[in-house]
Amino acid sequence: METRTAAGVRFWVLLGLVSRFAGLKDDGGGWYGESDFRLEDEGPCNLDVLDASELSHQQFLDRDHIQGVSYRGILLKWYAFSRPLVLRGLTDNTRFRLLCSRSSLLRDYGSRRVKLSTANTHSYRKVEVPFQEYVDVHLRPQSADALGSDTLYFFGDNNFTEWQSLFQQYEPPPYVLPHTSGAYSFGIAGAGTGVPFHWHGAGFSEVIYGRKRWFLYPPESRPHFHPNRTTLSWLTETYPHLPEDEAPLECTIRPGEVLFFPDRWWHATLNLDTSVFISTFLG
């Protein structure tokens, strides 16, 4: 309990300590500059993190490949159907990354309209704006007291006809589940934004620029959250007080890393930086 509380308090404190992007190896595709903010604390990672060379597609699907582990009394036997993980070096999306720079996307898509959703569990409200307006007006850090219904989030609802030339350059994860095909959802969001807990089918999520923190629970372990409160408010108000046996599985995903989430797993996300990301939903 002491470790859980200390970690939560540390994150609470660091939320107020935004800093400039000093010493980064690249310019983040132009999505952040010296005056932009980020959240400092990446948090712990208690997911398996593997290099793609360590796990073949067959091993990903094979229930006998890994020893089962228990989470809150639930046996998680193998990845493809009951255990999330992070993979590195799974694909090479260097070209796609260049095409997702701020200057490239504004040049190619700035005048096109994009559909924004409210960042709550139900996402009832949809708003269409030019992509340039989204970047100039809505793409900004989020405060912990903001409501999901007041936060417009660009993710999913992509017009595949208009964005097809970009998506054709993306190399999706080569691992698939039997009898499924992949559908893309592309997004860009500011530091502190994210979506609260929800669930759907299995899929992969790759970060192109920035860092995205994930919190996950098995289907049988519904987390405690308010559907109209943001992940940031959950992290500052609820997360520090969780008993150890109610703590989530979690990890921060960085550029070039891919997270796999199984079918019907609860998950919430938090963008630690201005982030560009793409998910491949398996349906």
The torsion angle over the Cα atoms of residues 55, 56, 59 and 65, rounded to 10 degrees, is: -40
pLDDT of residue 76: 43
Q: How far apart are CA 203 and CA 184, in angstroms?
A: 10
Pairing status of strand 113-118 against strand 69-71: unpaired
Q: How many residues are recorded in the chain?
A: 283
pLDDT of residue 5: 45
pLDDT of residue 37: 66
pLDDT of residue 140: 85
Name the nearest CA neighbour of 209 among 273, 264, 117, 133: 273
Q: How far apart are CA 111 and CA 5, in angstroms?
A: 47
Residues (pLDDT < 70) of the chain are: 1-27, 33-37, 61-81
Q: How far apart are CA 155 and CA 62, in angstroms?
A: 32
Strand partners, 183: 281
Name the nearest CA neighbour of 199 among 180, 232, 227, 240: 227
- The torsion angles phi and psi of 246, rounded to 5 degrees, stand at -120, 10
Q: How far apart are CA 123 and CA 121, in angstroms?
A: 6
pLDDT of residue 283: 83
- The torsion angles phi and psi of 31, rounded to 5 degrees, stand at -80, -15
pLDDT of residue 197: 94
pLDDT of residue 27: 66
- The torsion angles phi and psi of 3, rounded to 5 degrees, stand at -65, -40
Topology annotation, domain 39-282: Jelly Rolls (2.60.120)
Yes or no: say if 4 and 240 are a contact pair by the CB < 8 Å rule. Answer: yes
14: region left, alpha or beta (phi > 0 left; psi from -120 to 50 alpha): alpha
pLDDT of residue 67: 47
The pTM score is: 0.84
Q: What does the pLDDT look like over 34-75, one tens digit per residue?
A: 545 677 778 899 998 988 888 777 777 665 444 444 445 444
Q: How far apart are CA 283 and CA 273, in angstroms?
A: 29
pLDDT of residue 207: 96
pLDDT of residue 212: 95
215 burial level (CB within 10 Å; 0-12, 13-18, 19+): buried
CB-CB neighbours of 195 under 10 Å? 25
